[in-house]
Amino acid sequence: MKFPVKVKLVDVGPRDGLQNEKAPVPAAVKIGLVHRLQDAGLLHIEVTSFVSPKWVPQMADNAEVMAGIQRKAGVRYSVLTPNLKGFEAAVLSRPDEIVVFGAASEAFSQKNINCSIAESIERFAPVVEAARAAGIHVRGAMSCTVGCPYEGDIAPERVAYLAGLMKGIGVQHVGVADTIGVGTPRRVQAAIEATLKHYALDDVSGHFHDTYGQALANTLAAMELGVWQFDTSSAGLGGCPYAKGATGNVATEDVVYMLHGMGVETGIDLDKLVDAGAYISDFLQRKPNSRAATAILNKRVQ
Ligand code: HMG
Ligand code: MG
């Protein structure tokens, strides 16, 4: 078995994690998390989303958060944009990358962005065109590539279909998301293989929620196919308000612990990363949802 020797992690905690919190999280705390993540060596951070504040009130401070970050050279800052309105607002914050987000499941597309898959692609097309004309990198998130909270199992053919549509409108990179964390290694591999019909390996990443405790195994399974880019969340934050019952993304700390143990480079300082996860967990008044972080924090007080 040949695994990548280097892996790039995108910490999506400030966006995927905090979008799902019930209690308001002040912009200053979100900025504090981003600063700690970049200090820990993260080179790519998904900061916020320019979505409707009626749909996701937690992200209403998007512009304030983007403006408050002291940017570090070499770090890429991404934001989600579901439509042109979102893109036009986002572009004022000078993101390095925008993310359009679709779904392999019709029902999830309707619940999450209030339109069909075909309509979503029509909405994304001008966003992608405008972003690329402005020199902004474009990523596409593909939700429900294994299972959907409304439709159940999703066949790999539907993932290939969505990936083909994303490719057709000029999306440069796609993330294969297991939104509700039901995937197991072989099923996640099938979703990735379907995506690879349209995208090169270097333009595909994994985004695995850990609802059933499979996300670390799924990460390794994706690496078995050569995938070397993953979205993860510090302290295992995460979830989608329109995917009830789904828990956080795989914890960045757990993935880094596994990768460093395998001799795979990430450029991340695990101790500083644990500090970042502890910072946001303290604010949220709970323990980090990461076994590695818990073990390291326990060891520190011994
Ligand atoms: P809609 O209601 O169909 O939109 O929502 P609309 O175009 O009819 O507009 C309705 C109102 O929203 C109007 O305001 C618009 O101006 C406003 P009003 O006239 O009523 O005052 N509006 C906006 N405001 C701010 N920013 C915008 C925007 N667009 C319209 N961009 C829409 C459609 C897409 C906007 C809505 O469904 C929405 O915001 N959905 C976002 C849902 C979301 O953020 N979900 C979580 C992120 S995805 C995720 O977590 C999955 C991922 O992690 C991968 C995985 O795990 O699967 C990425
Ligand atoms: Mg997600």
Residue 153 structural domain: 8-300
- How many domains would you assign to the chain? 1
Average pLDDT of the residues in 240-266: 93
Residue 189 lies in a domain: yes
Q: What is the pLDDT of residues 110-156, one digit of tens each?
A: 999 999 999 999 999 999 999 999 999 999 999 999 999 999 999 99
Ligand 1 centroid–CA 72 distance in Å is 29
Residue 164 lies in a domain: yes
Q: Which atom of ligand 1 lies closest to the CA of 12?
A: 53
Is 240 tagged catalytic?
yes
Residue 36 lies in a domain: yes
Q: Is the CB of 19 under 6 A from ligand 1?
A: yes
Q: Is the CB of 110 under 6 A from ligand 1?
A: no
Q: Among residues of the chain, what percentage have pLDDT more than 70?
A: 100
Mean of pLDDT over the chain: 97
Residue 211 lies in a domain: yes
**Is pLDDT at 1 greater than 90 in this prediction?**
no
Average pLDDT of the residues in 39-56: 98
**Is pLDDT at 239 greater than 80 in this prediction?**
no
The whole-number pLDDT of residue 244 equals 83
Residue 1 lies in a domain: no
Average pLDDT of the residues in 24-33: 97
CB atoms within 10 A of CB 286: 10
**Is pLDDT at 182 greater than 80 in this prediction?**
yes
CATH number for position 27 = 3.20.20.70
Residue 178 lies in a domain: yes
Antiparallel, parallel or unpaired: β 152-153 and 8-11: unpaired
Read off the pLDDT band of 2 (50, 70, 90). Answer: confident
Residue 68 lies in a domain: yes
Ligand 2 centroid–CA 17 distance in Å is 8
Question: Bridge partners of 207?
Answer: 177, 231
Read off the pLDDT band of 282 (50, 70, 90). Answer: very high
Q: What is the pLDDT of residues 188-215, one digit of tens each?
A: 999 999 999 999 999 999 999 999 999 9
Ligand 2 centroid–CA 13 distance in Å is 9
Residue 37 lies in a domain: yes
CB neighbour list of residue 81: distance below 8 Å, 6 or more residues apart = 49, 50, 87, 90, 98, 99, 100, 127, 131
| 3-state SS string for the chain | CCCCCECEEEECHHHHHHHHCCCCCCHHHHHHHHHHHHHCCCCEEEEEECCCCCCCHHHCCHHHHHHHCCCCCCCEEEEECCCHHHHHHHHCCCCCEEEEEEECCHHHHHHHHCCCHHHHHHHHHHHHHHHHHCCCEEEEEEECCCEECCCEECCHHHHHHHHHHHHHCCCCEEEEEECCCCCCHHHHHHHHHHHCCCCCHHHEEEEEECCCCCHHHHHHHHHHCCCCEEEEEHHHCCCCCCCCCCCCECEHHHHHHHHHHCCCECCCCHHHHHHHHHHHHHHHCCCCCCHHHHHHHHHHHC
